[in-house]
Amino acid sequence: MKEIKARLIERIKRTDTVESFRFILEQKALFLPGQFLRVILDEDNRENKLMNKYLSMSSSPDKDYIEVTKRISSSEFSKALLDLRPNEEILVEIPMGNCVFRDEYKKIGFLIGGIGITPVISIIEYIVEKKTDTDAYLFYSNRTDEDIAFKKELDHWQGINKNIKVFYTVTDCQPKDKTCTFGFIDKELLTGKASDLTERILFIFGPPKMVDTMCNISLELDCKKQNIKTERFIGY
Ligand SMILES: Cc1cc2nc3c(=O)[nH]c(=O)nc-3n(C[C@H](O)[C@H](O)[C@H](O)COP(=O)(O)OP(=O)(O)OC[C@H]3O[C@@H](n4cnc5c(N)ncnc54)[C@H](O)[C@@H]3O)c2cc1C
């Protein structure tokens, strides 16, 4: 793990409340798809948890930039990120986390709510770029159609790689988008779409409550504990 200067090169609005930030690192940092970093906005006080926060990489490790994606809130941390100017430098501590994709995983599944999608993007982008023969099912839940971050990218990837399947669910109102279904990720949806769920390595990323719910459902469906990988986005 190293502390490295990161220069902002681009910002991309994903939804009304989600924004990506792309940086060039001063030195190359190796990381595995699924890992995260710590953004240090208060360099004088590393213990300042309000200004130094963890964000997952939302780009493949093979890119020449790193991308992180934040659900924007009214916090000082969010404001400081939005205030960054092009070419401004910040400090990041990278890489962190053990919930990673490895090339030998041939069948995987993701059970994701909202902002938990960020490390999934790193993993799927990596799978697509490396042309691995991984069979990947993504169950991705959001409140409304408008809240689905990275939908364009995910639709493109499942269009060019027949081993990638994405199931979108929307929980708060009937979706306008025909590619989304109404409701939560539940046992019925999972067994209906993935009869081989117990054979898959499952990744569950996101806010702690959502991770716990998805973990319980997977265990009730007889998935093995050792095949379930979780990363709790503490701070939500
Ligand atoms: C491994 C990991 C990976 C993560 N990856 C991502 C990611 O890719 N994208 C992303 O957006 N987030 C990610 N997070 C979460 C991120 O680190 C932040 O915690 C989160 O984005 C909220 O930050 P904020 O500044 O918007 O919080 P805030 O809006 O300040 O707070 C969020 C919630 O915490 C409460 N809260 C805040 N401060 C306090 C306090 N002092 N006491 C009690 N409650 C408080 C608020 O009331 C609110 O409900 C990740 C976290 C972890 C651990």
Residue nearest to atom 27 of ligand 1 (CA): 75
Number of H helices, E strands in the chain: 5, 12
CA distances from 58 to 123, 178, 199, 218, 222 (A): 8, 26, 26, 25, 30
**What is the C-alpha separation between 113 and 140, in angstroms, rounded?**
6
Residue nearest to atom 45 of ligand 1 (CA): 235
- For residue 235, the model assigns a pLDDT of 86
Once rounded to an integer, what is the mean pLDDT over residues 44-72?
97
| CB neighbour list of residue 81: distance below 8 Å, 6 or more residues apart | 19, 21, 39, 41, 70, 72
- For residue 112, the model assigns a pLDDT of 97
Is pLDDT of 225 > 90? yes
Cis peptide, bond prior to residue 175, ω within 30 of zero: no
Q: Are 21 and 84 in contact (CB under 8 A)?
A: yes
Q: Give the tens place of pLDDT for each residue, 65-114.
A: 999 999 999 999 999 999 999 999 999 999 999 999 999 999 999 999 99
199 exposed, middle or buried (CB, 10 Å; 0-12, 13-18, 19+)?
middle
Is pLDDT of 36 > 90? yes
- For residue 236, the model assigns a pLDDT of 80
Q: What is the mean pLDDT of the chain?
A: 97
Going along the chain from its start, the domains and CATH numbers come out as: 2-96 (2.40.30.10), 107-232 (3.40.50.80)
- For residue 7, the model assigns a pLDDT of 98
Q: Are 114 and 71 in contact (CB under 8 A)?
A: yes
- For residue 149, the model assigns a pLDDT of 98
Evaluate: CB of 21 within 6 angstroms of ligand 1: no
Helices (H), 75-221: 76-83, 117-130, 151-160, 187-193, 208-220
Evaluate: CB of 35 within 6 angstroms of ligand 1: no
- For residue 98, the model assigns a pLDDT of 96
Residue whose CB lies within 8 A of the most ligand 1 atoms, among 21, 22, 233, 234, for a mutation test: 233
Report pTM.
Answer: 0.95
Q: Give the tens place of pLDDT for each residue, 173-200.
A: 999 999 999 999 999 999 999 999 999 9
Could you tell me the distance, in angstroms and rounded to a whole number, from the CA of residue 118 to the centre of ligand 1? Answer: 14
Residue whose CB lies within 8 A of the most ligand 1 atoms, among 49, 55, 82, 231, for a mutation test: 55
CA distances from 49 to 41, 92, 119, 172 (A): 10, 14, 21, 32
pLDDT band at 21 (very low <50, low <70, confident <90, very high): very high
